[in-house]
Structure 1
Amino acid sequence: PGAGSTIGTQAVINSPADGYTLLLTSTANAINASFDRALPFDFAKSITPVAGIARIPLVLVINNDIPANNVAEFIAYAKAHPGKISVGSSGIGTSLHLSGELFKSMAGIEMVHVPYRGSAPGLTDLMSGQIQAMFDNVTSSFALAQAGKIRALGVTSRERSAVLPDVPPIGDTLAGYDTSSFYGVGAPHGTPQPIVDLLNREINAALDEPTIKQRIADLGAIALHGDAKQFGAMLAAETESWRKIVEGSGVHKEG
């Protein structure tokens, strides 16, 4: 952890390419490629893709006092109260923050961004009414929504989430809207292909292990199976997608 995953990524880049030091790649790596203009490395050239682990949809959740039961009603409410809605995230430049920025842009609304150090304090403030809305990973917010402590309006993925089956995609209201978080595994550039292939096989086998498979599903995540090339293609596509969102929002890391 630290510096939006930059510290850990740099440590792996500088490690021997022997398969014993690996990187838990995430959405942060795809975002930082364009968000952090001072990034001391080229992620795409410095890390060898190994395997995907899971994709995690995000969800737009609101305080129960907000008079909106779906995305369209929330947008209408926001337009009627410009700049009066505070939307939380787990930090500046995260997938949660930028998903909110994309939502604001596509919906044509104004909301005040409030960054937190992680989801937990943001969700606490959301329940108490200190903020009115939040974009969060379904893994950390679906239980609160199921318990009726907050209201889930829409998931950010194209498909519905298995843990929030009654919550439609935001894209049903804002055509083309589609974001999510992901995790995978990378290795230092130059890691021999036989080692990459071995790690890929073992990670895919682990994702099929019944206990792990069930745990991923219970969290509302979606397992990412496939070979190293497929994961590499996904990383490239995610990096390009987030680049467009970053450039569209005009938000970049300061300092």
Structure 2
Amino acid sequence: MRRRLLLGSVGGLALARAARAQGTSGAWAPERPVRLLVGFAAGGSSDVTARLVAQAMGERLGQPVVVENRPGAAGNIAAEAVARAAPDGHTLLFGVSSALAANRALYKSLAFDTLRDFAPLSQVAVIPNLIVVNPALPVRSIPELIAYARANPGKLNYGSAGAGTSLHLASASFAARAGLDMVHVPYRGGAPAATDLIAGKIQMIASPMVEVIGAVQAGQLRALAVTTAKRSPLLPEVPTVAETLPGFEVPLWNGILAPAGTPPAAIVRLSDTIQDALRSEEVRRRLLEQGSEPAPSTPEQFADFIRAEIPRWAEIVRVSGAFAD
């Protein structure tokens, strides 16, 4: 299985390279609006980023790129829909680390295979998770949170965008590493989880920075740490979890994929379009303002990246002890 290429076969990658070498990226153009499926609710990190990139793609393709939200099952519903879609370049997936990597270890069975059913186009961004709490919780640091949770086992509720999502795994991994007993409360997206956290219905989330940075800056939430290996330039005063729990790292990432079997010329044109959008000053600026790091890549680079991420996320799942039906 690991030897399978994400474009479906070695021949698929070779054809895409040949199309690029022959300058045929302009030979394909969409004949109607392109659908970009997002596996999470509107207003969350994936939705916000997808809409930003979709608008820039539409301007370059000459056809609208319409975001369609298909929330549920940690992104599996949207992924399955794209895997079964006609491979004509008009239906794409805004894929995330949970659906493309972690879910292979979380779910007993999936209706799609990441290494067989998709043609990767380009990675989009790497995103830090930000561990935030309701200000009413009497903690101001990760050590204080650990001490409070240990003193109150089973009384702290953390939210996520759904069972098995990257948000769930970040919090579950943190709890497992710190030896904490906390209760998971799944939502159908990160945005509703953040809303309930602000309202005090839950006490903590490990959320993509874009979803909560506004609330942090407004004083509605308190930021304790980021889950990346390094501090975020956007919030340099906020430490990493690893500064308390050495080696802890759960970064998020996303990218855009087409169904396997999509014509090589379409793969090249779509990939070039995404990369061009991500390198534009406007899109880069807006992603960086959200705390995301733009990461344009070729189909081959994105394929290699996903292949390497699958075992890494399997280990994160193992450490977290999380599972999904």
With structure 1 as the length reference, what TM-score do the two structures score? Answer: 0.91
Alignment CA distance shift 1:186-1:172 (3 Å): same
The answer on 1:122 being equivalent to 2:193 is yes
Q: Provide the residue aligned with 1:80 in structure 2.
A: 151
Root-mean-square deviation (CA, aligned residues, Å) is 1.9
In structure 2, how many angstroms separate the alpha carbons of the residues matched to 1:93 and 1:166?
Answer: 30
Q: Which amino acid aligns with 2:123?
A: G
Q: Does 216-225 or 94-103 show the bigger shift?
A: 216-225
- 1:34 is matched with which residue: 101, 105, 117? 105
Q: Which residue of 2 aligns with 1:144?
A: 215
| 1:86 alignment partner AA | N
1:131/1:6 Cα in 2 relative to 1: closer, same or farther (>3 Å)? closer
Distance 2:311 2:279 in 1: 29
Closer/same/farther in 2, CA of residues 206 and 172 from structure 1, 3 Å limit: same
Bigger CA radius of gyration: 2
**Contact preservation (8 Å) 2:71, 2:188:** no
Q: CA deviation at 1:194?
A: 4.2
**Is the aligned partner of 1:11 residue 2:76?**
no
Q: Which residue of 1 aligns with 2:281?
A: 210
> 1:34 is aligned with what amino acid?
A
> Any residues of structure 2 matched to 1:63-212 within 5 Å, and which?
63-212=134-283
Q: Percent identity?
A: 37
Displacement after TM superposition at 1:173 (Å): 1.2
**Structure 2 unaligned runs (5+)?**
1-69
In structure 2, how many angstroms separate the alpha carbons of the residues matched to 1:197 and 1:157? 31
Shift of 1:192: 4.0
- Deviation of 1:83 (Å): 1.8
Superposed CA offset, 1:153-196 (max 9, x none)? 00011122233221111111111111122221112223344432
SS of the counterpart of 1:105? helix
- Per the alignment, do residues 186 and 64 of structure 1 end up closer, same or farther by CA in structure 2, a change over 3 Å counting? same
2:93 paired with 1:23: yes
Q: Which amino acid aligns with 2:148?
A: Y
Aligned to 2:32: none
Separation in 1 of the partners of 2:86 and 2:189? 32
Q: Match of 2:289, as an amino acid?
A: D
Secondary structure in structure 2 of the residue aligned to 1:65: coil
Letter in 2 for 1:18: D
Moved more, 164-173 or 94-103: 164-173
Aligned residues: 254
Partner secondary structure for residue 116 of structure 2: helix
* Counterpart residue type for residue 214 of structure 1: R
Partner secondary structure for residue 91 of structure 2: coil
Q: Distance in 1 between matches of 2:160 and 2:96?
A: 17
* TM-score with structure 2 setting the length: 0.73
Alpha-carbon displacement from aligned partner over 1:34-78 (angstroms, at most 9, x marks no partner): 222221221211112110111211111112122222111211221
Amino acid at match of 1:110: D
- Do the aligned partners of 2:124 and 2:254 also contact (CA within 8 Å) in 1? yes
Q: Conserved in 2, the CA contact under 8 Å of 1:85 and 1:131?
A: yes
- With a CA cutoff of 8 Å and minimum separation of 6, indicate the structure with the bigger relative contact order: 1
Structure 1 residues not aligned, in runs of 5+: none
Change (3 A) 1:134 1:15: closer
Q: Deviations over 1:81-140 (max 9, x none)?
A: 222211121221111111111001111111111222323332233233322211111101
Counterpart residue type for residue 13 of structure 1: A
Cα pair 1:142 1:164 within 8 Å, conserved = no
User: Which deviates more, 138-147 or 22-31?
Assistant: 22-31
**Structure 2 match to 1:242:** 313
> 1 CA distance for matches of 2:267 and 2:195?
41
